[in-house]
Structure 1
Amino acid sequence: MSKQLPLAVALLLAAGTVSAQSGKVKIKTKPGRNTATTAPAPAATPTDWSVTYAQTITPAGLKADLDVLASDAYEGRETGKKGQKMAADYIAKAFAADGLTGPVAGSDNPYIQHFSMKRTSLDLAASTVKVGSQTFQGKRDFYGIMTDAFATGAPLQPVFVGYGIKEDKYSDFAAPTDYKGKDLILLAGEPLNGQGKSLLGPDGKASAYASATLDGLMARRKGIFPLGARSIILVMPTAAAYSAVPQAFGQLMDHDDLTFDGAEKKASGFNILMVSPEMGAKLLGTTPAGLDKYRQSVAKAGKAVASPFKPAAATAQAKQNIEPFTTENVLGYLEGGDKKDELIVVSAHYDHLGVKDGVVFNGADDDGSGTVSVLAMARAFSQAKKEGHGPRRSILFLANTGEEEGLLGSQYYTDHPVFPLEKTVTDLNIDMVGRVDSLHQGKGDYVYLVGADRLSTELNTLSEATNQQYNPLALDYKYNDPADPEQIYYRSDHYNFAKHNVPIIFYTSGLHPQYHKATDDVEFIDFPAMARRDQLIFHTAWALAERDARVALKPEFVKTGFVPTPADLDRYAGTYGSPQIPLKITFTREGNALKAQATGQPAFTMEAVSPGVFKFDPAQLRVEFAADQPTFKLKQGGGEFEFKKE
């Protein structure tokens, strides 16, 4: 499962348009939520062949495949690397052995969908920041992410923002300032009072901002990310905190940028540097003692105080390496019967994180578990067809590459579909189904479902009824709540189908301490629980393939064909701000389309629904302009926000 959110979605979530929060989320009670569902079961058929073939999905069979794909020999299956290509070959041969067809025309291997990419990596040790006559070196004086904004060397535009915190009772951003394109310098940790207690935490206890770690940085995201700044430069409080940066921020730093070959150059991303106290002081034209004095002045005042610093002139130089490469999705196709022109997709991603500092990240659960589940279902459906009980609709078994790098394989497939998306009924996506998480310890008979009700009420009804009919599991909808902070709906390959209005269900057993760690190994997999989950997914795919009518979209996701007039689009054009959230959106007309762009981010095209009403389905975003005044309402995830033209 990817840690990344699609850019437009991440922007809106960071700005708070979805009411994401830390900690536990209150879930509305409804049948099937956190318990076994009670939806009425469909009438049993005289011979239910799905039972026969679901039973071919066994713990032993799943383990046999996973022991191979999640072994050290496959080198963590990193996108574009040797291990990923070995895994692609294994999956393709398995599909062929099962009698599936390779549907990719023009490929050297009909089971393989090749595509070209570029990998941009940062040579941090060769990157520098020069302050006056002093040169600071990457991996010695600073760590982090430097984008192509500094690839040819560029002067910093430093602005000191204290602790970088924006809260009602404490804000380093009280004075209106334009931070667009600036490089924000802020202190790690949190403001304390004269007794050394937190000014922000309950009863003086440490707040979410306290730790000089990635968690402490992410606690600041709602205040900082929407500002349109170019960089965050986080000054570590002590030498010990700085020496711990490689561990405390490792997941942030160890990431290459993968882009499609020939794609339009995207806007430079966010630069994030974690710097030593000495480098931070030098950037601010002071000393570490001067930084301590600032902290003491905040403690004495009990609130944010004005900056006493005059940042020094500085230039940053990022050393980047660019490598072209190819990667591949793997496709196996089972032709259906009388409804063979319609398609069910069963998907998972087979890539993982590769090798880091000589340690293999095997990704047994993420997403070796989903990959071998797809293989098991392919064998089950293939056997059913060989024995005269094949599905009415066709089924595409899709193993995606590049998911960990931003859902790249599924993006490529949905942008270059082998089968028309308008004929694609559903995507059932499987990612991390091999564990029992901390909320279900000792109770493996559960699975999290995400997205079943987002685009299609009929799909959700079928899903719950199918579960009730066959040895029901507890269907947990925690991650389906739009306010859930994990925002999993946007973080695996089903999202690329959903943004094209293909109904989806995402299946997972949830997060665990080994997620994206080198310890995500086969020894932790609960194969009996995994087999039961896979059997439910198989039954659901069977039901979707056999029903007379395909599941219908909700009315709001059906294209209306409405075309607004250029005069109306011109009336909506302009920049709007909201008193509720720190976000500005600019609308422009391009031909007969309305484009939206939030501060410092790429533009995206809104779809016209009716006069004054537009939507952006990839983020389930809706905009409703007032008829008689320059305002609009933005609706997303159950939230509603007022915007007014500036």
Structure 2
Amino acid sequence: MNKIRLFGLFLMMSITVIAFGQYKSDITIPDTTKAVITDPKDLSVRYASNISADELKNHLMVLASDSLEGRETGTAGTKMASEYLAEELSNMGLFAQHRPGLNRYFEPVAFTFSKWLDTDLFVNGRRFRLVWEYLAYPDENENNYLIKDNEIIYLGYGIDDPKYSDYKKAKVKDKIIMIRMGEPVNPKTGNSYITGTAQKSDWSTDIHKKLKVAKEKGVKLVLVIDEDIKASIENNRRRLLFPSPKMGDFLNTPIETANAAYISPEIASLIINENARKVEKADRKISKGKPAKVELPVDFATNMTKEVKVIKDRNVIGFIEGKKHPNEYIILSAHYDHLGKRGDEIFNGADDNASGSGMLLEIANAFQRAVMEGNRPDRSVVFLWLTGEEKGLLGSKYYVEHPVFPLENTIANINTDMVGRIDKKYEGNPDYIYVIGSDRLSSDLHKINEEMNQKYCHLTLDYTYNAADDPNQYYYRSDHYSFAKHGIPAIFFFNGVHEDYHRATDEVDKINFDKMVNIGKLIFHTAWELANRPERIKVDGEVK
């Protein structure tokens, strides 16, 4: 439990939450009988005072202006926004870094989207539909208008290993093969013919290993029999209907695996047709560790026509090197993209998330003032503006896959997303903020934020959306989660949704800049403490 004094009810609730190992989901009310510290001799107070409502408004007047056309990822709008952020960093004296993966202040990013335009599967004239009776993934298959043959080779498990090979004496170049998942096992001992033990080899756990071999052998299509195709379809339906991009530009990169479709036992039976006994005989031989194949006459065709699109953009990075622990990093983040235009309407996203982006500039300036006065933080501080959040946390996903600063030395992430408005719950009381994730991976992080709030700010800290069973699941919906997935403690500051959320009416004139100052100061105080405390915070939570 944190060290600050809470009112009795909230104290009891907090103790109960921690005792049962759950995440905090109540509200922390500061003890207002204790005055906040305002003495400028306190360095945290001195530099937090540089966060200015006027400067925040100036930033938002640019970032949420019509000229940036809603800052949709990969457009001229995000390019102009990123140039503004970089110029502001330069003006405050945060110089561009010369590090691998960086170009001035920019980390170039690319996202490759693949989707099916047309795909069906036909066996002896019968049509089967994607996501209903079979699976095939556009990002794992080459574009092919038509794959057709009058013969399919049943090739056991599709394994090519020194200890067992289904490809022995099999001519498969430019052929379609049908294989099973898994690997051959001795029915008497239960041991794999490949490992010699009950432990299965990676031929069972990594289907792509089989598909790579098929590609090397010149196979034009692999049909993988999935004995539980219904579960596989259910588990992968979202992946096919709402595909996530690959991180990087793969437009002209050949796929390393053979084209493949995962089919039901029903489709496999239709392909086998009158040759069931031959396949059974082959399976008995395979169960003895001897490869066997069956050539199956069939009228088979499938079309695999897809569209591949690459979106290019950039994350923006500012950096202050620490004086005592320069190789330990605190990352403060905010996404700067939004929804762009819909027809003639411009979605300027003043709250979402020009507010977080502008606030991060002010916090960076506060840290830089400390540096200029000879009070450089002990740990390095990274200011990270991310693109692609509205398209699925893409900028942060790219960053953690291509980190500029080592993830293992990243102490914490502080993420700011929508901090300029007041939701219905707190109408008339702007001195609040929703806190999400602070206690999920590090009890230290949670305690520090609460202590900094009690000591300097006296905001109401609302943890409603931090509950594991909260239906909104905001913990998984902003960029901090990309860091949390990698075991990096993360805290997310959020003002809640409002009637202008993701609407063209989310404009600067509705922003409460005084509220933003107060939240910005809390974030600064927490970051300053993380950067200057003697020990790095402990990770004592579980990644979920």
**Structure 1 residues 152 and 371: alpha-carbon distance in aligned structure 2, compared to 1, 3 A threshold:** same
Contact 1:104 1:113 in 2 (8 A): no
Q: Structure 2: how far apart are the matches of 1:28 and 1:429? A: 29
Q: How does 1:142-153 map to 2 (within 5 A)?
A: 148=138
Q: Closer, same or farther in 2 for the Cα pair 1:324/1:464, shift >3 Å?
A: same
Residues 205-259 of structure 1, C-alpha deviations (whole Å, 9 max, x = no match): xxxxxxxxxxxxxxxxxxxx97835999xxxxxxxxxxxxxxxxxxxx9x89643
Q: Deviations over 1:346-399 (max 9, x none)?
A: 100111111122321111111111111111101111011101222111100000
Question: Which SS does the other structure have where 1:396 is aligned?
Answer: strand
Q: Secondary structure at the match of 2:69?
A: helix
8 Å CA contact 1:343–1:425 kept in 2: the answer is yes
Corresponding position of 2:70:
76
Aligned pair count reads: 382
In structure 1, list runs of 5 or more residues that go unmatched. Answer: 1-26, 129-145, 155-224, 233-252, 269-314, 558-616, 621-646
TM-score (norm. length: structure 2): 0.62
Partner of 1:117: 111
Do structure 1's residue 487 and structure 2's residue 480 form an aligned pair?
no
SS of alignment partner, residue 457 of structure 2? coil
| Matching residue's letter, 2:497 | L
Higher relative contact order (CA 8 A, sep 6+): 2
Say if 1:122 and 1:256, in contact at 8 Å, map to a contact too.
no
Choose which of 409, 414, 433 in structure 2 pairs with 1:428: 414
Deviation at 1:544, TM superposition (A): 0.9
Choose from 71, 93, 103 the match for 2:97.
103
The residue aligned with 1:63 is: 57
> Match of 1:482, SS?
coil
User: Greater Rg, structure 1 or structure 2?
Assistant: 2
1:453 counterpart residue number: 439
Task: Report whether the alignment pairs 1:30 with 2:23.
Answer: no
Q: Determine the structure 2 residue equivalent to 1:367.
A: 353
Closer, same or farther in 2 for the Cα pair 1:110/1:346, shift >3 Å? same
Q: Which is worse superposed, 102-111 or 460-469? A: 102-111
**For residue 27 of structure 2, what is the amino acid of its counterpart?**
N
1:474-623 correspondence runs (5 A) = 474-554=460-540, 557=542, 617=543, 620=544
Runs of 5+ consecutive residues of structure 2 not aligned to the other structure: 1-10, 16-23, 121-135, 147-229, 261-300
**For the structure 1 residues 336 and 42, does the alpha-carbon distance in structure 2 shift closer, same or farther, using more than 3 Å as the test?**
farther
Task: Name which of 233, 246, 266 aligns with 1:228.
Answer: 233
Q: For residue 246 of structure 2, what is the amino acid of its counterpart?
A: T
Query: What amino acid maps onto 2:29 in structure 1?
Result: A
Which residue of the other structure, out of 405, 408, 414, is the alignment partner of 1:419? 405
Deviation string 1:579-635 (CA, Å, 9 cap, x unpaired) is xxxxxxxxxxxxxxxxxxxxxxxxxxxxxxxxxxxxxx3xx2xxxxxxxxxxxxxxx
User: Taking structure 1 as reference, are residues 127 and 537 closer, same or farther at Cα in structure 2, changes over 3 Å only?
Assistant: same
Q: Is the 8 A contact 1:103 1:418 kept in 2?
A: no
Q: Which amino acid aligns with 1:409?
A: G
Runs of 4+ with deviation above 6 angstroms? 39-46, 149-154, 263-268, 315-319
- In the superposition, the TM-score normalised over structure 1's length comes to 0.53
Q: Deviations over 1:90-139 (max 9, x none)?
A: 1111111111132352567321111232245798xx999xxxxxxxxxxx
Retained in 2: the 8 A contact 1:117–1:324? Answer: yes
Amino acid at match of 1:404: E
Q: Please give the secondary structure, in 1, of the residue aligned with 2:361.
A: helix
User: What is the alpha-carbon distance in structure 1 between the residues aligned to residue 325 and residue 515 of structure 2?
Assistant: 33
CA contact (8 A) 1:433 1:509 kept: yes
Task: Show the counterpart of 1:440.
Answer: 426
AA aligned opposite 1:48: D
Question: 1:399 — aligned with what?
Answer: 385
- The CA RMSD over aligned residues, in Å, is 3.9
Q: 1:230 to 1:333 in 2, by over 3 A?
A: closer
**Quick one: distance in 2 between partners of 1:227 and 1:415?**
26
| Residue aligned with 1:447, SS | strand
